[in-house]
Amino acid sequence: MRRLVTTLGTITTATAVAVVAIAYPALAGGATRLDAQGEVYRYALPDGSPSPIPEGATARVHSVATPSGKTIVTLVVDGYAPDTAYGSHVHKKACSPTDPAASGGHYQDQPGVISEQSEVWLDFATDSSGHGEATAVVDWHFLKDATHPDGANSVIVHRDETAPNGTAGPRLTCLTVPFTG
């Protein structure tokens, strides 16, 4: 088993954010698994309002690439605002503690194609305790190659649910997840 532990920086002078990502060797049948978890980076809204996500909010991501060519991604969040719906997607680049745009655009299996089939959409709604979960299954694996030079490296939670055109409002939180290393 290979274990990767990365400290990504600080949100405030008092709060360090650590993300633990563990890549596992091939599972029975040839599937590969990646798990990442930690306190998320929280971002202020574009108008300068403070983040609506409470300090200390966390996320966990579990990803399995199957031998049949499918990828299953599960997102679990805790400590988010209660009874709220969010949009969420896999993004190309790693998170920044201060710049929500640093994670780049959505990872797209077919660059330029905006759909649930070409991207990983993980929209969810939280319960009364701020817990939420989502799972997406796509018919491809994440790649870092000439077509996907940045690979897939984070999960962003947006303020709004995902619209058919792929937009979901401002970026609220980010968790670095090295899907492609």
pLDDT higher than threshold 70 for residue 19? no
- CATH code: domain 2-176 is 2.60.40.200
Domain boundaries defined on the chain: 2-176
User: For the segment 59-82, what is each residue's pLDDT rounded down to a tens digit?
Assistant: 999 999 999 999 999 999 999 999
| pLDDT for 2 | 23
| pLDDT for 31 | 87
| pLDDT for 27 | 55
Three-state DSSP class for 140? coil
Residue 84: what residue type? T
CA distance 174 to 100: 8
Average predicted confidence (pLDDT) for the chain: 88
How large is the greatest C-alpha to C-alpha distance in the chain, in angstroms? Answer: 49
| pLDDT for 142 | 98
| pLDDT for 1 | 26
User: For the segment 90-122, what is each residue's pLDDT rounded down to a tens digit?
Assistant: 999 999 999 999 999 999 999 999 999 999 999
DSSP single-letter state for residue 94: -
Torsion angle, CA of 90/94/100/102, rounded to 10 degrees?
A: -110
Cβ atoms 92, 103 nearer than 8 A: yes
Mean pLDDT of 18-35: 67
